[in-house]
Structure 1
């Protein structure tokens, strides 16, 4: 059977929205025309792909068809690009914006003969969904455990382990320290840039080093975070050592030692279908990371959450 990719595209968009009206709007067509496409596809396949009573949902056949349908669309796009001699851009969604993930992507992109199109992701769960749908090619940020269903078919490589400093204001009792052990912060209050249950790294740091007090809340941006730390002598936060800070001269960024906590940055991608330039991009991260010693890790000297230690070898997520 020859599949019409226009019919397949209508199915995929409808499966992602589970709403014929919204899917039709997204495709720039009428709901009636989209319904006819889906009916035609179901007739060709001789299976029912959607249940249309009490809302729209996928049938078991539709659930089985969806991953292959996405692969078919991706293969079609690659075929068109190859025929035209186009070099496909690599779309990279980044998250963890307070910690400036684009500075790492930029270092790698400058050394690549590949067009990179970075875009903002809201957070790791939303980027995982975008990858699974095929709405982006790669993700870059810090991955933490998600439900297995959310990461099915995704693979990961840790590409940078970045030391973090303790950021304190001028009146913090430890502001004059040249370096600190993480355990010395146990009597301080951890100031979090968002709700702590969404900040896996900070939560595990607090548990590992006995920090019992914290303040969290909505993510109001880096400027708000550092002003709060600057004003409250009891507070500290953690910040990647190489990330740029706003120009607050009174802030102290103090290295953490014995051990040094490391923040793990990862590249995430779909295992299948693989983007034709994926290996070139991964090689670029490896070459840049090797030159900059981004993956230096020594047990005893450094600290990583257990889940991050398990991710140091490339492989499937979950």
Structure 2
């Protein structure tokens, strides 16, 4: 049989929302028209794709049909792009916005003229992982950590950058005049976490590793709020990537951390069962930029990574058996 992609799209969007009203709104149609499209598709396939009593949910047949339906829609988009010459668009969701992830993405793709990015904000890694599995986005970029259950079972990832972090304190902090600090020097200070600490995997590992027992967290209200909070609290500090721009340095000091230097791991993630046609080109761009900028240099014990990140490190090539410590590399 010939599949009508308009009907397939109606099914896929409804499967993602599990709500006919919201799916109709996304498709810019009426709920009645959407219901008719789903009914036509079910009649053509001679199976029920949704259970509609007690809430909308996929049947077993609908669960089996969904992955193939997404592949069919993606193939249709590629076919249109091949004819129109517009080229495929890579949808990339980023998270960790306070640390400005698009700095790294932009640097890695600036020389790739064939890549057309459609960036989108992700709330956090769990939400981006779910979007990747649904097919709502093609690529994720941010800090990847273990997810509960098997949510990340269908995903793969690659380390893209290890970025040194500084301690940011107010100018009235007792350690504000230090040219550099060791993480252990901060044990009498309070770590300010600009979101709920259970969601901040890196800061949680850092505090546990270096015995920072005083910890405060709050809602993520943006970078300005983070700066204002640190500036107003002389006993607290936060961690911030050494190369990321702070909006206002007045009343603040950014102090390098050494012995060891904590490294923030940025990773790319994508769905294992669907490789975007431009994925290999993108990965090559990140690999070449990482090599040129020495983004993946890691030298224990001068540098520190949480143990889960150490398992993601790429093999060191023969001509780089003795990489410089990350803090020794000129910031870029």
Q: State the TM bucket, normalised to the shorter chain.
A: over 0.9
User: How much does 1:125 deviate?
Assistant: 1.8
Partner of 1:132: 133
Counterparts of 2:137 and 2:9 in 1: how far apart (Å)? Answer: 16
Deviation at 1:32, TM superposition (A): 2.2
**What do the CA deviations read for 1:255-296 (whole angstroms, capped 9, x no partner)?**
111111100011111223211111111111111111000000
CA distance in 2, matches of 1:244, 1:157: 25
Higher relative contact order (CA 8 A, sep 6+): 1
Deviation at 1:148, TM superposition (A): 4.2
Q: 1:200-215 to 2 correspondence within 5 Å? A: 200-215=201-216
Give the SS at the match of 2:151.
Answer: helix
For residue 14 of structure 2, what is the aligned residue in structure 1?
Answer: 14
Deviations 1:185-221 (A, max 9, x none): 1111001111111111001100011000111111111
- Distance of aligned partners of 1:24 and 1:117 in 2 relative to their CA distance in 1, 3 Å threshold: closer
1:48-87 Cα offsets, whole Å, 9 max, x none, are 2111111111112211221121111111111111122221
Partner of 2:60: 60
Q: Please list every run of 5 or more consecutive structure 2 residues that lacks an aligned counterpart in the other structure.
A: 316-332
Task: State the 1:299 CA deviation.
Answer: 2.1
Q: Do the aligned residues in 1 keep the contact of 2:227 with 2:248 (CA within 8 Å)?
A: no
Q: Give the root-mean-square deviation of aligned CA atoms.
A: 1.6
Runs of 4+ in structure 1 over 3 Å off: none
Bigger Cα displacement from structure 2, 42-51 vs 190-199: 42-51
User: Which range moves more in the overlay, 116-125 or 3-12?
Assistant: 116-125
User: 1:140 touches 1:267 (CA, 8 Å); kept in 2?
Assistant: yes
Q: Is the 8 A contact 1:12 1:69 kept in 2?
A: yes
Contact 1:42–1:48, Cα closer than 8 Å, also in 2: yes
Which residue in 2 is equivalent to 1:119?
A: 120
In structure 2, do the counterparts of structure 1 residues 122 and 306 end up closer, same or farther at CA, with 3 Å as the change threshold?
same
CA separation in 2, counterparts of 1:179 and 1:28?
56
Which whole-Å CA distance do the structure 2 matches of 1:149 and 1:25 have between them?
31
Match of 1:258 in 2: 259
2:324 aligned partner: none
Shift of 1:18: 0.9
Give the corresponding residue for 2:307.
Answer: 306
Q: Size of the alignment, in residue pairs? A: 314
* Distance verdict in 2 for CA 1:149–1:2, change over 3 Å: farther
DSSP 3-state at the match of 1:269: strand
Q: Secondary structure at 1:122's aligned position in 2?
A: coil
TM-score by length of 1: 0.94
What is aligned with 1:107?
107
- Give the distance between the partners of 2:65 and 2:106, measured in 1 at CA: 37
Question: Contact 1:156–1:268 (CA<8 Å) still a contact in 2?
Answer: yes
Contact 1:71–1:272, Cα closer than 8 Å, also in 2 = no
Pair 247,166 (structure 1): closer, same or farther in 2 beyond 3 Å:
same
Offset at residue 29 of structure 1 (A): 2.1
Which moved further from structure 2: 196-205 or 130-139? 130-139
Pairing 1:9-88 to 2, within 5 Å after superposition: 9-88=9-88
